[in-house]
């Protein structure tokens, strides 16, 4: 079994390495055409004129990920707390099954629902250049899509906190809410942060649902109701007919997206380890 486990791990490492190498090999030749500064900070994307600037799509990807994560973390952690500490176990199991069902819904279904329900509502109340297809629609649909991951990881982490923590907190006179926010969440933060990281990765890498609700305009959004295009949507929309320098530019876009996800994971991991060290030193003191 040890050999089998090592083999499975090796296969995953090989696959990820192959994917990264394939993207790099496909994208590196592009930078002989356009330097990386112009590529990252350029505000115009015009493949027919061989003008490739991904700044509007980069900003949109960051905005939509931040917005979706903010909403998803608040709702997701709150929902997990309710499932673990407030609802009766039988009712909590029903809700947990529904959350698991949400995790299995294909992204195109989320996008279709957003297109026929969410986009008209946004257009009716806020309007905008995209007639409802906008950055706001992308943020809302992404926040819904990352909820199952955040809720499930947070729920599992909260349930893993030893019961002795709760007994000690309540025995010292803490209320139930004080125990949840001052003790339980702190003890479960590693798992909660893991769920947030996975949620960020899904929001940043989501494609089909965003294509259906965002409006797909490669412009810098000036408001939440402006139509936008993300990095992933740009690759998916244009890769089917791209060739030559245009195709290389899309591979280079994939390199940027790959690097952005790795940077976010590295930063959050370092932040979590730093916080754990500070808490450990405080406990010793």
Q: Using pLDDT thresholds of 50, 70 and 90, give the confidence band for residue 139.
A: very high
At 179-235, the pLDDT tens digits run: 888 888 888 888 888 888 889 888 888 888 999 998 888 888 888 888 999 999 999
* pLDDT for 170: 86
129 pLDDT more than 90: no
Structural domains in the chain, CATH included, are 2-284 (1.10.3720.10)
* pLDDT for 63: 93
* pLDDT for 280: 57
* pLDDT for 33: 85
* pLDDT for 249: 92
* pLDDT for 260: 87
User: To the nearest whole number, what is the mean pLDDT of the chain?
Assistant: 87
Q: For the whole model, what pTM was predicted?
A: 0.86
128 pLDDT more than 80: no
Q: What contacts 24+ positions apart, CB below 8 Å, involve 38-45?
A: 39/249, 39/252, 40/256, 43/220, 45/218, 45/234
At 25-77, the pLDDT tens digits run: 988 999 888 888 989 998 999 888 888 999 999 999 999 999 999 999 999 99
């Amino acid at each position: 079994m040890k050999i089998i486990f090592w083999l499975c791990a090796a296969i995953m490492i090989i696959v990820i390495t192959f994917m990264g190498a394939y993207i790099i090999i496909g994208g590196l030749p592009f930078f002989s055409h356009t330097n990386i500064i112009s590529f990252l900070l350029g505000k115009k994307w015009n493949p027919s004129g061989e003008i490739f600037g991904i700044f509007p799509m980069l900003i949109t990807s960051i905005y939509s990920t931040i917005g979706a994560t903010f909403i998803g973390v608040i709702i997701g952690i709150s929902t997990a707390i309710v499932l673990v500490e407030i609802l009766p176990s039988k009712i909590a199991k029903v809700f947990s099954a529904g959350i698991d069902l949400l995790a299995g819904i294909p992204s195109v279904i989320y996008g279709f629902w957003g297109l026929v329900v969410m986009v008209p509502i946004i257009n009716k109340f806020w309007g905008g250049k995209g007639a409802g297809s906008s950055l706001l629609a992308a943020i809302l649909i992404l926040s819904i899509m990352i909820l199952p991951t955040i809720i499930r990881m947070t729920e599992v982490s909260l349930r893993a906190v030893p019961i002795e923590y709760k007994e000690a907190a309540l025995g010292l006179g803490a209320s139930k809410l004080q125990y949840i926010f001052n003790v339980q969440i702190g003890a479960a933060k590693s798992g909660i942060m893991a769920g947030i990281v996975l949620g960020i990765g899904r929001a940043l890498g989501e494609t089909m649902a965003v294509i259906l609700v965002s409006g797909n305009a490669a412009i810098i959004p000036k408001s939440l109701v402006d139509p936008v295009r993300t990095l992933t949507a740009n690759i998916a929309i244009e890769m089917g007919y791209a060739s030559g320098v245009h195709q290389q530019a899309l591979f280079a876009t994939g390199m940027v997206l790959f690097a952005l996800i790795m940077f976010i994971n590295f930063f959050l991991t370092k932040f979590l380890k730093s916080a754990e060290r500070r808490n450990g030193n405080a406990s010793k003191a």
